[in-house]
Amino acid sequence: MSRKILLFVLLIVMLISGCGQSKSASVDKKPHQDKTDSSQTNTTRVFETVPNGFRVVIVGSGNPKTEVGHGAPSTLVQFKDKYFLVDSGANTTSTLLKLGLPAEKITNMLFTHQHVDHNGDFWNLFIDGWQGPTGRRSLNLSVLKSKSFMIQL
């Protein structure tokens, strides 16, 4: 996967996520809802159909603070049968499964920057994708370069 395509996908994600309101694909669950009923077990299968062009799904849009039922930043860009994941914050892997997309389908990842709220679920996604006879056999990773900085403690 060339860097130009990954950067193009990132640009599209940034443009789309900046336009209009978006709703997180993560499932909101109140703390007192410990038991699930049959209506809660039916999940939306976003990826049952393949689009003719692009599809962008906000997988998580939370903040660095851990919150029950909210995923940290992660956006999935689909172009036909190809999937590009931008960041993988907490709960990304489980949210994608709830939406009907197993981890092995993700073969391209882009990290906007290296903070735990943007890459905290990477190892879950990485390991889950390799499991089984039809698991992922390659994973293209890209990280945007940033200027050097120094942290003084």
Q: What is the pLDDT of residues 42-85, one digit of tens each?
A: 456 667 777 788 999 999 998 877 778 778 999 999 998 899 99
Q: pLDDT value at position 104?
A: 92
3-state secondary structure string across the chain: CCHHHHHHHHHHHHHHHHCCCCCCCCCCCCCCCCCCCHHHHCCCCHHHCCCCCEEEEEEECCCCCCCCCCCCCEEEEEECCEEEEECCCCCHHHHHHHCCCCHHHCCEEEECCCCHHHHCCHHHHHHHHHCCCCCCCCCEEEECCCCCCCCCC
Classified by CATH at the fold level, domain 3-12+49-143 comes out as: Metallo-beta-lactamase; Chain A (3.60.15)
Q: pLDDT value at position 10?
A: 59
Q: pLDDT value at position 85?
A: 95
Q: pLDDT value at position 29?
A: 41
Radius of gyration of the chain, Cα coordinates, nearest whole angstrom: 16
Q: pLDDT value at position 83?
A: 93
Q: Where are the domains of the chain?
A: 3-12+49-143
**Pick from 79, 91, 89, 104: which is nearest to 29 by CA?**
91
Q: pLDDT value at position 13?
A: 57
Q: pLDDT value at position 103?
A: 92
Could you tell me the pTM of the whole model? 0.65
108's tokens: 């391209």
Task: Extract the residue ranges of the chain whose pLDDT is less than 50.
Answer: 18-42, 148-153
Q: pLDDT value at position 152?
A: 46
Q: pLDDT value at position 31?
A: 40
d(CA 71, CA 118): 10
Q: pLDDT value at position 118?
A: 87
Q: pLDDT value at position 37?
A: 42
Q: For strands 108-111 and 82-86, give the pairing.
A: parallel
